[in-house]
Amino acid sequence: MRGPHNILRLVRTAATFERTGAMAVVLEQMDAPPALRAAARVLGWPFRWLGYKGDPALPPVTRAITALGPSYIKLGQILSTRPDFVGGELALQLRVLQDKLPPFPTFEARRMVERDLGRPVDTIFSEFSEPVAAASIAQVHQARLVEGQRKVAVKVLRPGIARAFRRDIDAFYFGARMVELLAPQTRRLRPMDVIAHFDATVQQELDLRTEAAAAGEFKANTAGDAGFAVPAVEWHLSGRAVLTLDWAEGIPMGELEAIDAAGHDRVALADRVIAMFLRHALRDGYFHADMHQGNLKVAPSGDIVALDFGIMGRLDEYTRRVYAEILMGFIRKDYRRVAEVHFEAGYVPADRDVDLFAQALRAVGEPIFGMDASRISMGRLLAYLFEVTERFGMETRTELILLQRTMVVVEGVARTLNPQMNLWTAAAPEVERYIRTNLGPRAFARDLYRTAQVLARFGPHLPQAVEQALRRPDRTVIVERGRRKRSAALWYIAGLGTAAVALVAAAAI
């Protein structure tokens, strides 16, 4: 966030948006306040000549972002997950933003492979093709191993990409701080946190060892999922700048005519795409967060093959339960329960009226469920839900926004395969299975048993700890910042009681 280059980069950014006509679109879509509009115009209009021209065939916003380069393309993709921040229409435009760029020379890729793996390319691969795909951060080559002659995909980072991203990310932080200063009402949306999330995402993508670990974890989680496959990582041929995976044969998910010609059942594929996404999100709490057609193939066996693990999403166990309860509450039209779940999770401030919130949720749910089943969108439902929670003071939760954005993308893939699909018919089995496993009496008993296991590890220390706590003079209830906190002794005694109940419950299972 230091240095004059930040100001210069923002001036060129504003100038490019002004020159391409994107500035007016962005300010309007974001409903920017007067101070922010004035600052943008001051930075952009006088220096319009400094802006990049871009491709006139593209829409203004896409044209500007593509012209500014890889960092801006990636930021645009991240902002497409934040309709609350950039507005619904602009988020939709950014969602189709492609990061396809001209490839860099193959000799550069070979040199990076040799430097990263410490071996000549010809001793590892008997074949090493020209680029078969090139994106903003890396490009992919098809290769064949010397040992075993197996085909593999070799992903190689663009030379100098880390330095270029670091420069631009500093400017993004500076810009986010300016937005917060000029438009205080945006602080609730946490612009600095948006850039921090972008920064963390990019740093993961710039170290292909992280993507290798993500692919390995995802493959292990999904090993038992019939009809779904993840390529294996060649760990000994992967490093910071190189990732080698088994080559995945198959038809890209967007090539419908080829899928039909191969005899695959598109209706079954559409249902499976939805089911697999929900299974991974709810069961594992770890899901592919970039499941567009370009990252999915249909294998000759009919399996869905996932590719590109640079953007993955995580949900902790508690959040998964909240998400499942919200979905089931809407399915059952139990809006009061949906409202209570939001309050119990702390998503909505406790000083708001739960009945008014439930009424607002009814206004979200009823119009959607009045539609034909094939037109109901879970992504639209969640988008409407976030609009309501915003009015009731819910702070932005990045993990839920990412989940909602991915749900919209997955829905788009599924409806492309089968325009008449009933989303809820495809989704209900996975949601119900999760709820049966994680929200019933047996799940409660299992949670108590886990609690007992944790407490048992501290068992030898508990008697002495309780005695020390009881001998301390501060055994009263302390009121701090309006919240009651009990003394350590009471917590220890409560823990012992919980452990006893848990052990009894576990014995009864």
Write out the catalytic residue numbers: 290
Q: In degrees to the nearest 10, what's the CA dihedral of 257, 261, 265, 269?
A: -50
* 321, 358, 496, 500 from 324: Cα distances, Å: 5, 17, 31, 30
DSSP letter at 138 equals: E
318 Cβ partners below 8 Å, 6+ apart? 345
Q: How many CA atoms lie within 13 A of 44 on its CB side?
A: 22
* SS3 (DSSP) at 47: coil
Contacts of 309 (CB under 8 A, 6+ apart): 211, 214, 215, 218, 288
Contact residues for 144 (Cβ-Cβ < 8 A; gap 6+): 125, 126, 127, 150, 151, 152
Looking at 266-344, list the stretches that DSSP marks H as alpha helix, in order from N- to C-terminal side: 266-279, 317-331, 335-344
Tokens 């979200």 correspond to what residue?
364
Q: Are 230 and 306 in contact (CB under 8 A)?
A: yes
Dihedral pair phi/psi, residue 316, rounded to 5°: -70, 165
CB within 8 Å of 436: residues ≥ 6 apart: none
Which secondary-structure segment (H or E) carries 449? helix 441-457
Question: What is d(CA 234, CA 41) in angstroms, rounded to the nearest whole number?
Answer: 51
What span, in angstroms and rounded, lies between the C-alpha atoms of 444 and 453?
14
Amino acid at 267: V
Instruction: Tell me the backbone φ, ψ of residue 162, rounded to 5 degrees.
Output: -65, -40
| The two three-digit tokens of residue 440, written as one number | 């019933």
Distance from chain centroid for Cα 305: 19
Residues β-bridged to residue 242: 156
Quote the CA–CA distance of 232 and 300 in Å, as a whole number: 17
Order the strands of the 138-145 sheet from edge to edge: 125-134, 138-145, 151-157, 242-246
